[in-house]
Amino acid sequence: MNRKGYIGIIILALYASLGLAQSQVPIDTVCIFDPASRYAVPQQADMRYEWSVGQGQITSNPTDSNVIWVSWANASAGLHTLRVVAIDAQSNCPGDTSEALVLVTAPKTARAKYPDEACVGDVIILESSISGSFMWKGGSTNRYQSFVATSDTSTYLIALNGSCANDTVAFTIRVNESPEGRISRVPDTVIYGNELKLYFQGQASNEAIIDWYLNGAWVDQGRAIELEFYTFGKNEIMQVVSNGNCMDTVYKYLYVDDEFTAHFPNAFTPNKDGRNDIWNFTGVGHKSYVAGVYNRWGELIYQWTETSNQKGWDGTENGQPSLQGSYVYKVEIEDMRGKMHYYTNYLTLLR
């Protein structure tokens, strides 16, 4: 006889002797996985007993004895009514009826939400998924546990199941080293269209992936890259270092400005000696231009743009050599910001 069954015998017998119809206090608490429980009422001469055990199953034989064994393996968790009626074996007339309650409990499975991996410095949050009572390693009964990851961590959660056996889930969270991103020196200002070579100067494994972004757009991957700047104003450089599931992101900012210059020679010698044979202007920050050369009567004799095959005046007019002397150039230049610059002056053709 198990102890719980023994208690049930005594209390059920007491109910019977007092003629109590029902009590709201369970006479027994069992787990669905427990062996069958024993229940009994006092034996009376020439009496048989009709038992009603609800979702329980009488496993003893005969079933009309004053003593029975009941399995609750297929019962739902909760209170169940246990009823017994004493029947006169000769007249078949019912006698005393006794009722009592049995509390059937079902074990809870220990379940928790947790990350399999984390990075050094991450805040790890653990959450219990148990609806009933539980306890974390260390004794805490709070649903959530949190800590800062420093190294691999093993812990567990226990489902407290009362009369049923407790269930435990144990797990280990792998904590990976976090890489450190760092960008080489970046100047405060660069000129529009210029290139800048940048280097990764942080700490990471050889297998780490280093991605570079300019103004939010991915540019390249590697420990060294070259960036070209074609956006005026403030520019953002972002470096993302990934080492497995861990990463670090760093930013640098610089200002992109324009530089505009235009230089116009005042003479040239188109004598086909390979030196100074073409008149043209030079400078930086030129987005587009239109250049023209005019004779002394203001007639346009030669013109070219940034898209022309011939860049500059070769000293001819309609394929014929122009005369030595003074000419006028007129040049319109659009800079990178769209601003127009206008230049007019004299040049000398020497032969």
Is the CB of residue 179 less than 8 Å from the CB of residue 203? Answer: yes
What CATH architecture is 189-257? Sandwich (2.60)
Backbone angles phi, psi at 118, to 5 degrees: -150, 175
Is the CB of residue 192 less than 8 Å from the CB of residue 284? Answer: no
Residue 249 has pLDDT above 60, yes or no: yes
Is the CB of residue 107 less than 8 Å from the CB of residue 101? Answer: no
What CATH number should be reported for the domain whose range is 112-176?
2.60.40.10
Q: Is 4 helix (H, G, I), strand (E, B) or coil?
A: helix
Length of the chain: 351
Which range among 10-24, 132-146, 297-311 shows the weakest confidence by mean pLDDT?
10-24
Predicted confidence at residue 193, as pLDDT, reads: 86
Is the CB of residue 250 less than 8 Å from the CB of residue 238? Answer: yes
Predicted confidence at residue 17, as pLDDT, reads: 39
Predicted confidence at residue 3, as pLDDT, reads: 37
Confidence of residue 185 (pLDDT cuts 50, 70, 90): very high
CA distance 201 to 186: 12
Alpha helices in 70-208 (DSSP H): none
Calculate mean pLDDT across residues 272-279.
93
Structural domain spans, the chain:
3-105, 112-176, 189-257, 261-349
Q: Is 11 helix (H, G, I), strand (E, B) or coil?
A: helix
Q: What is the 3-state secondary structure (H, E, C) of 216-265?
A: CEEEEECCEEEEECCCCEEEEEEEEEEECCEEEEEEEEEEEECCCEEECC
Yes or no: is domain 3-105 CATH 2.60.40.10?
A: yes
**Using one digit for the tens of pLDDT, what is the confidence trace for 46-88?**
899 999 999 999 999 999 999 999 999 999 989 999 999 999 9
**Using one digit for the tens of pLDDT, what is the confidence trace for 153-182?**
999 999 999 888 899 999 999 999 899 999
**Using one digit for the tens of pLDDT, what is the confidence trace for 293-339?**
999 999 999 999 999 998 899 999 998 999 999 999 999 999 988 99
Q: Do domains 189-257 and 261-349 have the same CATH topology?
A: yes
pLDDT > 90 fraction of the chain, expressed in percent and rounded? 76
Predicted confidence at residue 14, as pLDDT, reads: 39
CA distance 97 to 91: 17
Token digits for 35? 């062996």
CA distance 320 to 157: 97
CA distance 151 to 230: 45
Residues in a beta bridge with 25? none
Please list, in sequence order, all residues whose beta carbon lies within 8 angstroms of the beta carbon of residue 332, skipping any fewer than 6 positions away: 289, 290, 291, 340, 341, 342, 343
CA distance 226 to 233: 19
What CATH number should be reported for the domain whose range is 261-349?
2.60.40.1220
Token digits for 91? 């007249």
Residues in a beta bridge with 134? 159
Question: Nearest 5 degrees, angle CA 328-CA 317-CA 343?
Answer: 25
Predicted confidence at residue 33, as pLDDT, reads: 87
Calculate mean pLDDT across residues 277-289.
94
Neighbours of 80 (CB within 10 A): 21
First to last CA, the chain: 130
Neighbours of 289 (CB within 10 A): 20
CA distance 42 to 192: 103
Q: Is 171 helix (H, G, I), strand (E, B) or coil?
A: strand
